[in-house]
């Protein structure tokens, strides 16, 4: 796989997203969809916790899959995309 595809897709998402906090989920969802749908990249959309020096920055307090309606506005987790490169997944 060409790393340039991933790089350009990520740049496109960043160029078209407002510079605001807490947009990791929509940004990651768009990047995931672009890579899968437009380029056939083996990617995963991942959600979970983000810690720094054993302190929670974001804590996913429930599963997005199990929730309905507007509950995402209360979700406090983190999201990112993982892409398979050379037999291992790399995250963005």
Strand partners, 91: 82
What average pLDDT does the segment 44-72 reach? 75
Q: How many domains does the chain have?
A: 1
Question: Among all chains, which residue has been given the structure tokens 């906090």?
Answer: 21
Give the structural domain span for 87. 3-91
Q: Is 89 helix (H, G, I), strand (E, B) or coil?
A: strand
Q: Give the residue ranges of DSSP H helices in the chain.
A: 3-15, 24-33, 39
- Return the pLDDT at 73: 65
Q: How confident is the model at residue 47 (pLDDT cuts 50, 70, 90)?
A: confident
d(C-alpha 73, C-alpha 48), whole Å: 16
pLDDT at 18 over 70: yes
Kindly list the distances between the CA atom of residue 7 and the CA atoms of 2, 55, 82, in Å, as whole numbers in the listed order: 9, 30, 13
């Amino acid at each position: 796989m060409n790393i340039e595809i991933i790089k350009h897709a990520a740049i496109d998402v960043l160029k078209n997203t407002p510079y605001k906090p807490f947009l990791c989920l929509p940004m990651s969802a768009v990047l995931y969809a672009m890579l899968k749908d437009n380029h056939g990249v083996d990617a995963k959309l991942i959600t979970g916790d983000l810690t720094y020096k054993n302190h929670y920055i974001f804590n996913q307090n429930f599963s997005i899959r199990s929730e309905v309606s507007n509950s995402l506005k209360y979700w406090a987790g983190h999201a990112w995309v993982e892409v398979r490169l050379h037999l291992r997944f790399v995250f963005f």
